[in-house]
């Protein structure tokens, strides 16, 4: 098969942004409790090394590994006016059936910090992410600045997890729509700042959307008599929120969303359930260019929902696990990619070759959504990334 050169995001070989942190950086941050000023040269060194590793492995969508972040969601939310970070938050404010909260409690943990709305939400005009983009620009040639990928926290991240009435004070916002309107304005400002800094490749990391595939979560939602909307109605609100957040981006800014199923201690996942329940809404009403989907285990279901993916949208198939070091069988992974393309082709009246133009391959999730990362070391991560690159080279010869 032959394909045209694929120059813009997404790329055939992708990863999901978070990468294993070197031990010296972890020790400095958590064991030695170094200050931000003391950490910066260590972060710079680690980022420089991991960018070089990505380039040597043949990846175009370069990230900084999220090395300046404690967790994958970064520092966007606490920096907003009207939002306040709280350490050891009261457990009674959380919906205990939301998969990540349930996983925390089952494993003997509780959220170490959370962010609460305490007033009207407004972006200050100062981005906590733009410095990450600027540093990456100094590590790659200017012609590759458009390849740089930055991951952003989901705009619904501090909503679903809270029991009804705890996401915001009722004397600040009368309802979800008012709250979401200000959240969307904040994201519009952030995306504008990042675009002006040269960023063209954005990936939202969203565990919450995948939770709508979880029968356990949906059952918990039904039983909760405090909820004022159905789960389906809430999904509609979240899709509208996303669409509002990205409504003002320029035409040359690529936006995608990763439906995360969780990375936690000992490579634990949070949620299960196929995409069938939400596929039509997800693919046809959410205005994303690309969907980064987890497909490393049967917990995500089959490829059948991809039949609903429109011809103008892309999917990155996360068929390689980031959770464990054992390498997948390359030929079997290529077969899975072709199977997915066949489903897409049949659903949209295309040939397999046409469908493959909208497909890429990646690990199913990041390697270190939380600080310590999954049960895999740095060299094991590189072997996984090399496998992703080899699969892409064999399925799409000559494409990045």
pLDDT at 4 (0 to 100): 41
Contacts of residue 51, defined as CB under 8 A and 6 or more positions apart, other chains included, come to 62, 64, 136, 139, 140
Do the domain assignments include residue 129?
Answer: yes
Number of residues that make up the chain: 400
This prediction's pTM: 0.95
Angle at 191 between CA 157 and CA 55, to 5 degrees: 95
Do the domain assignments include residue 189?
Answer: yes
Torsion of CA 267, 271, 273, 275, to 10 degrees: -90
Do the domain assignments include residue 2?
Answer: no
Distance separating alpha carbons of residues 283 and 304, to the nearest angstrom = 13
Contacts of residue 366, defined as CB under 8 A and 6 or more positions apart, other chains included, come to 15, 16, 17, 18, 19, 66, 72, 205, 263, 322
| 307 and 348 Cβ atoms separated by less than 8 Å | yes
Helix/strand/coil for 20: coil
User: Each residue's pLDDT tens digit in the chain (400 positions)?
Assistant: 333 444 699 999 999 999 999 999 999 999 999 999 999 999 999 999 999 999 999 999 999 999 999 888 899 999 999 999 999 999 999 999 998 888 877 777 788 899 999 999 999 999 999 999 999 999 999 999 999 999 999 999 999 999 999 999 999 999 999 999 999 999 999 999 999 999 999 999 999 999 999 999 999 999 999 999 999 999 999 999 999 999 999 999 999 999 998 655 544 445 567 899 999 999 999 999 999 999 998 878 899 999 999 999 999 999 999 999 999 999 999 999 999 999 999 999 999 999 999 999 999 999 997 777 889 999 999 999 999 999 999 999 999 9
Structurally, how many domains does the chain consist of? 1
Residue-wise DSSP of 290-307: EEEEE-SSGGG--SGGGG
Q: At what angle do helices 215-223 and 99-106 cross, to 10 degrees?
A: 100
Taking each continuous run of H as one helix and of E as one strand, the counts in the chain are 12, 8
CA nearest neighbour of 209 among 284, 263, 287, 155: 155
In sequence order, the β-bridge partners of residue 370 are 71
| 4 and 365 Cβ atoms separated by less than 8 Å | no
Do the domain assignments include residue 8?
Answer: no
CA nearest neighbour of 262 among 137, 98, 109: 98
* CATH number where 110 lies: 3.20.20.210
pLDDT at 71 (0 to 100): 87
pLDDT at 393 (0 to 100): 98
Distance separating alpha carbons of residues 231 and 95, to the nearest angstrom = 13
Calculate the alpha carbon distances from 356 to 6, 328, 336 in Å.
11, 21, 12
Note down the domain range covering 180: 23-395
Around Cβ 81, how many Cβ atoms within 10 Å? 14
Do the domain assignments include residue 233?
Answer: yes
Do the domain assignments include residue 336?
Answer: yes
Residue-wise DSSP of 257-290: EEE----BGGGB------GGGTHHHHHHHS--SE
Contacts of residue 119, defined as CB under 8 A and 6 or more positions apart, other chains included, come to 81, 82, 169, 172
Torsion of CA 332, 338, 341, 342, to 10 degrees: -110
Helix/strand/coil for 161: coil
Angle at 20 between CA 202 and CA 194, to 5 degrees: 20
Do the domain assignments include residue 10?
Answer: no
Do the domain assignments include residue 352?
Answer: yes
């Amino acid at each position: 098969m032959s394909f045209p050169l694929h120059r813009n995001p997404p790329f055939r070989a992708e990863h999901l942004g978070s990468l294993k942190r070197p031990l010296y950086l972890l020790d400095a941050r958590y064991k030695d409790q170094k200050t931000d000023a003391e950490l910066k040269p260590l972060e710079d060194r680690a980022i420089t090394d991991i960018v070089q590793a990505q380039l040597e492995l043949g990846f175009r969508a370069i990230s900084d590994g999220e090395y300046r972040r404690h967790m994958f969601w970064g520092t966007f939310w606490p920096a907003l006016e009207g939002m306040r970070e709280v350490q050891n938050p009261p457990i009674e404010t959380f919906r205990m059936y939301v998969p990540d909260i349930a996983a925390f409690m089952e494993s003997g943990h509780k959220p170490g910090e959370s962010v609460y709305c305490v007033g009207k939400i407004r972006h200050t005009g100062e981005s906590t992410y733009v410095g990450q983009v600027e540093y990456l620009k100094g590590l790659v040639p200017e012609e590759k600045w458009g390849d740089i990928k930055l991951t952003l926290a989901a705009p619904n991240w501090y909503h679903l997890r809270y029991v009804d009435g705890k996401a915001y004070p009722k004397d600040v916002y009368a309802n979800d729509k008012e709250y979401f309107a200000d959240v969307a304005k904040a994201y519009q400002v952030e995306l504008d700042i990042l675009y002006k800094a040269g960023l063209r490749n954005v990936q939202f990391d969203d565990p919450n959307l995948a939770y709508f595939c979880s029968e356990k979560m949906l059952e918990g939602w039904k039983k909760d008599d405090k909820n004022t909307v159905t789960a389906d109605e809430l999904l509609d609100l979240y899709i509208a929120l996303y669409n509002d957040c990205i409504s003002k981006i320029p035409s040359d800014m690529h936006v995608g969303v990763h439906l995360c199923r969780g990375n936690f201690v000992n490579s634990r996942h949070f949620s299960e359930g196929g995409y069938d329940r939400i596929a039509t809404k997800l693919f046809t009403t959410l205005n994303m260019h690309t969907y980064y989907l987890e497909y490393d285990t049967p917990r995500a279901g089959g490829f059948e929902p991809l039949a609903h993916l429109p011809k103008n949208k892309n999917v990155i198939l996360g068929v390689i696990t980031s959770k464990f070091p054992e390498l997948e069988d390359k030929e079997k992974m290529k077969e899975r990619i072709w199977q997915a393309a066949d489903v897409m082709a049949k659903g949209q009246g295309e040939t397999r070759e046409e469908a493959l133009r909208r497909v890429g391959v990646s690990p199913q999730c990041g390697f270190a959504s939380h600080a310590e990362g999954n049960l895999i070391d740095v060299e094991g991560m590189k072997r996984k990334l090399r496998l992703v690159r080899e699969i892409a080279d064999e399925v799409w010869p000559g494409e990045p």
